Structure 1
């Protein structure tokens, strides 16, 4: 006969390992142990101190993994179990235990990488294998039922929490019972040790089957929504702005936030610098994009992207309608007194309509003045606009402009006599004369201007004559030589 109860949980040493769970495991489970299906050998070393026996009816202190349990074991003392607890688990295995005599700790596993202040749940499904017996070989014994203590400690042995589960009573037919406990770890540690202690005494009974062991975070509610719509999915024009915001966020005071996005609702990436309770998509991208939010206690801000440390919101879907992006090209220069045509792009998608800044819809926009001009397109109800700046320039390279007055009074405005020219000089000489015809200034560089002095002394107010001798290349790359003269008023 069996003597006491056991229990094993296959928690992973590395919590962030991904586990694919069957339907029985809770959403977001870090651990989901269903014991697999089909032939299965002994459990990994260190999980339990019981002895593995590959047979249908293990003896005291032994365990096995089976997809069915025979009702003939130990003088028909056990219920026949035709399938495990996991739904849709074809030939799924159960952990079948015939426990030892004395109460003792029978499971200990360190779990690393958790987060303080987050609630975790440790759960399993158990079944009392023992039938309700009539008089027989065990009359002299108390027919004991399984009692399991679930204990959570810090690595140094400090107790965090312990739950002694009620005894799993015998029933006329086999019935699965759910056992669970919740806890949070203190701020001094991110690691815990899970221990299971058998509180039952040896003797007749106390035999057990276990399945669907789970370990998961239990996060508070978190939801997100569009700022201007209650829907979970929206369709907008690409290259526009769309705002997302928190709908509900209970449980965490001053939480840390992290927005995430995905192209397939499977692989998620963090959105750079998106750590507030609202997020502006600017701009919306063409195609389908999924968005969700995570939050956690502020102490876990560095781990907000990890499922075991943060709550996960619902998913919002944004469908970005493709527009017709285009470019009018670089800014342009317009020669004074001429006109210039700005063409509409020829690569616009079929069905695109457009309008120019003057509300015309022709293929080209003809401009004759400097300014900013734009073209706006409409494709599938989505608009897109690009602008081009047109600057006016004196394209007559033989002309120069010399102001007829300047004020060299050191007020940083019009302090020098500057010669203006639209192009570049091949040769250049600029001279200034006083009223008696004396040469008082010479420059052979366009960027060296007269500052109203002679021999480093300010010249008096009055009229001064100038001459400019220069040569330039014309549009046909021919050299032309010019001499210009004029007069300027010096005013202080």
Structure 2
């Protein structure tokens, strides 16, 4: 049995220069003054997928979890294990038994089994190279391993159960977004529940950044707060917006030393092709180097004044994402 829980939170003359400055100013206000809108992420691109592997796994790498690893399938307070099943005999038959992990279709797949002793961080991972203009979804599946018991068991009127907060931060500690799942209640039979946080980056000058994702358990330990988690997935819900690229919409190739070529403003380019077309759709200029700019000529003959269409494809050194951009430019002598 599975249940879903989502939170969608929250991407050559003076007049020509003045127009350029105005356009760049408006463009920068748009780029750095908005967040990418949150999207349904069912078909998003998977960036990271922690399934805890298959077969005998052993301890997680240093830095992922603060608890002590044990091989015992019934870890005591402050301990964890990575295993493909859970015995219902744990702690005098007080846990649900699980015959398999959550990951669909993996033979001998594992899950992370935690006996949380007190409120605090239970898991963290750093994920590199995210686009700051895209929307993302981070999700995980959790099952409360504790059976239902009458009130007052272990001396608690309200039993101790997992109560998780997801925190997405930059690696220098700036909070990007957070989600509090609330208490995951006990059930008569084991129920895997999905929790998901869709987040956007706040305005920042970086085009890509690394993030730290932390899972924090707010619940108390002792006679409860025992659970398994699996399938911790980060998806990109929207395309990475093109980083800083600007092509003016007018230039004046009249040899006065101002705006005599059609500039393409961009940086950190790995691959580039820029094509200009005449009104009949014929290519009259092609460049594979941003430093090679159109001077308004075709076969060394000055082109007529008018509107010309251009298209550009490019990638950046920061990612393998391929971008396509199209536009028009006015050639005025």
Same fold (TM over 0.5): yes
- CA distance 1:47–1:275, shift in 2 (3 Å): farther
Match of 1:103 in 2: 119
Deviations 1:86-107 (A, max 9, x none): 111111111111111x212333
Q: Which residue of 2 is the match for residue 42 of structure 1?
A: 59
Larger Rg belongs to: 1
Residues in 2 aligned to 1:275 and 1:181: alpha-carbon distance in whole angstroms = 41
- What is the aligned partner in structure 1 of residue 218 from structure 2? 199
**1:70 to partner: Cα distance:** 0.4
Distance 1:184 1:304 in 2: 19
The answer for unaligned runs of 5 or more in structure 2 is 1-41, 246-269, 284-313, 325-333
Name the SS of the counterpart of 2:92 in structure 1.
helix
| Pairing partner for 2:161 from 145, 155, 162 | 145
2:204 to 187, 198, 211: 187
Cα root mean square deviation, aligned: 3.4
Deviation at 1:254, TM superposition (A): 10
- 1:83 is aligned to 100
Contact 2:166 2:178 in 1 (8 A): yes
Cα pair 1:141 1:204 within 8 Å, conserved: no
**Change beyond 3 A, Cα 1:128–1:252:** same
Shift in Å at residue 119 of structure 1? 0.9
| 1:55 and 2:72 are equivalent in the alignment | yes
1:144 deviates by 2.1
Match of 1:210 in 2: 229
Q: Distance in 1 between matches of 2:241 and 2:151?
A: 57
CA–CA distance in structure 2, aligned partners of residues 141 and 176 of structure 1: 25
Distance change >3 Å, CA 120–CA 61, structure 1 → 2: same
Is the contact made by 2:272 and 2:315 (CA closer than 8 Å) also made in structure 1? no
Equivalent residue for 2:320? Answer: 306
Shift of 1:63: 0.5
Quote the Cα distance in structure 2 between the aligned partners of 1:218 and 1:255: 21
Residue 39 of structure 1: CA displacement?
A: 1.3
Contact 1:142–1:204 (8 Å) recurs in 2:
no
- Go from structure 1 to structure 2 and tell me whether the alpha carbon gap of 1:199 and 1:135 turns closer, same or farther (over 3 Å shift): closer
Contact 2:151 2:157 (C-alpha < 8 Å) held by counterparts:
no
* Partner residue, 1:273: 273
Aligned to 2:88, the other structure's residue is in SS state: coil
Alpha-carbon offset, residue 154 of structure 1:
2.3
Within-5 A mapping of 1:22-421: 28-100=45-117, 102-134=118-150, 137-185=153-201, 186-189=203-206, 190-219=209-238, 273=273, 302=316, 306=320
Q: 2: distance between equivalents of 1:65 and 1:50?
A: 12
State the structure with bigger RCO (CA 8 A, min sep 6), 1 or 2: 2
Residue 273 of structure 1 aligns to a residue in which SS? strand
| In 2, Cα distance between equivalents of 1:177 and 1:158 | 28
Alpha-carbon displacement from aligned partner over 1:312-331 (angstroms, at most 9, x marks no partner): 9xxxxxxxxxxxxxxxxxxx
Q: Secondary structure at the match of 1:43?
A: coil
Give me the TM-score of the superposition, normalised by structure 1: 0.41
Q: For 1:138, what is the secondary structure of its paired residue? A: helix
More helix per residue: 2
Q: Distance in 2 between matches of 1:98 and 1:255?
A: 47
How many Å apart are 1:116 and its aligned residue?
A: 1.4
- Per-residue CA shift, 1:95-134, capped at 9, x if unaligned? 111111x212333433332221211111111111111113
TM-score relative to the length of structure 2: 0.59
**Matched residue, 1:287:** none
Asked whether the 8 Å contact 1:143–1:203 carries over to 2, the reply is no
Cα separation, 2, equivalents of 1:31 and 1:177: 19
What CA distance in whole angstroms lies between the structure 2 residues aligned with 1:49 and 1:107? 8
> Structure 1 pair 118/303, CA: closer, same or farther in 2 (3 Å)?
farther
Aligned length: 223
Q: CA deviation at 1:304?
A: 8.4
CA distance in 2, matches of 1:311, 1:176: 39
1:337 maps to what in 2?
Answer: none
